[in-house]
Amino acid sequence: DAGVTQSPTHLIKTRGQQVTLRCSPKSGHDTVSWYQQALGQGPQFIFQYYEEEERQRGNFPDRFSGHQFPNYSSELNVNALLLGDSALYLCASSSTTGSVDTQYFGPGTRLTVL
């Protein structure tokens, strides 16, 4: 049973560039959430996708956008990169069916903006 996978594992970009991060959810999960974790901090919720729609959004600017595909995989796009966007980006998947379930996280993509 494959867990949550993310690609790439590491990424280096320069200010002003655009980046796309990818996530495949755990088998059987239909909801994908994205979190940003700055160095020394806890993860911060960016947004969540369900049925190919953005279901919830945290306090992040419009430079952060996403997409969910029919197979439930998801992308996170960040435009006009700033130095402050350097962080570990975590994807988590969960299910809307059944009883209480938790979010299972992937290994993350470490983004460095120079």
Partner 1 sequence: AQKITQTQPGMFVQEKEAVTLDCTYDTSDQSYGLFWYKQPSSGEMIFLIYQGSYDEQNATEGRYSLNFQKARKSANLVISASQLGDSAMYFCAMSRANFGNEKLTFGTGTRLTIIP
Contacts to partner 1 by CB under 8 A? 31, 33, 35, 40-45, 48, 50, 56, 58, 88, 90, 92, 94-96, 100-108, 110
Which is nearer to partner 1, 17 or 56 (by Cβ)? 56
Q: Write down the least CB distance from residue 16 to partner 1, Å.
A: 26
Residue type, 11: L
Which is nearer to partner 1, 7 or 18 (by Cβ)? 7
Q: What is the DSSP string of 11-75?
A: EEE-TT--EEEEEEPPTT--EEEEEEE-TTS--EEEEEEETTEEEEE-S--TTEEEEE-TTS-EE
Q: Write down the least CB distance from residue 88 to partner 1, Å.
A: 6
Which is nearer to partner 1, 16 or 24 (by Cβ)? 24
- For 9, 64, 71, the CA distances from 14, given in Å and listed in that order, are 17, 16, 31
Question: Do residues 21 and 108 lie in contact, with contact meaning Cβ atoms separated by under 8 Å?
Answer: no
Which is nearer to partner 1, 18 or 51 (by Cβ)? 51
Q: Write down the least CB distance from residue 63 to partner 1, Å.
A: 19
